[in-house]
Amino acid sequence: MDATPAITPQEAQRMLGALALAELFAFSVRELGPGSCTMEAPFLDLFLRPGELVSGPVYMALADAAVWVALMTIVGPMPMAVTSELTSNFLRGAVREDVLCAARILSLEGGIAHASAQCTTRAGVVLTHHSATYSLPPRSNGLSRAGER
């Protein structure tokens, strides 16, 4: 894999800004690498659930967005790459605090990407673990569905 991401953090942030949900959640790109992305969701009272905990949909949306951007670091801007599966395991809840999510692409073959993501507190406490599968549009980036060039 090339050592330079196919998109810049500024391009990734612009792509996120075009998504109403990412804008509402105020997601921000913190770090990019080839096949990886770290994003942040700042704490907002809007996210609270009983017990002063950050609600589950925040983690899932943040992980999904981080995986999407991580994929773009490999294939370039491709807004129509879509989630085909997202599995979330909730380990602990963040209490009125920002959440970080680090995602990485594990494999990309035949128009299908497999990824993992982990949400943590700023102190590094693991909150959630996610597995995701993304589907790229047919013939995108020179690949067919079967992965043939």
Question: Considering only CA atoms, which of 76, 132, 92, 136 is closest in space to residue 111?
Answer: 136
Q: Please determine, for residue 37, whether its predicted confidence score (pLDDT) is greater than 90.
A: yes
Helices (H), 1-116: 9-17, 20-25, 56-75
How is residue 90 written in tokens? 């909730």
Decide: pTM greater than 0.95: no
Confidence bin at 5 (pLDDT 50/70/90): confident
Confidence bin at 78 (pLDDT 50/70/90): confident
Q: Which CATH number is correct for 9-142, 3.10.20.740, 3.10.129.10, 1.25.40.10, 1.10.20.10? A: 3.10.129.10
In the predicted model, what is the mean pLDDT of residues 93-119?
Answer: 97
How is residue 139 written in tokens? 């013939």
Contact 94/53 with Cβ under 8 angstroms? Answer: yes
* Domain spans of the chain, in order of start: 9-142
At 96 the pLDDT is 95
Question: Considering only CA atoms, which of 79, 76, 63, 77 is closest in space to residue 4?
Answer: 76
Contacts with 124 (C-beta within 8 Å, 6 or more apart), sequence order: none
Contact 93/112 with Cβ under 8 angstroms? Answer: no
At 138 the pLDDT is 82
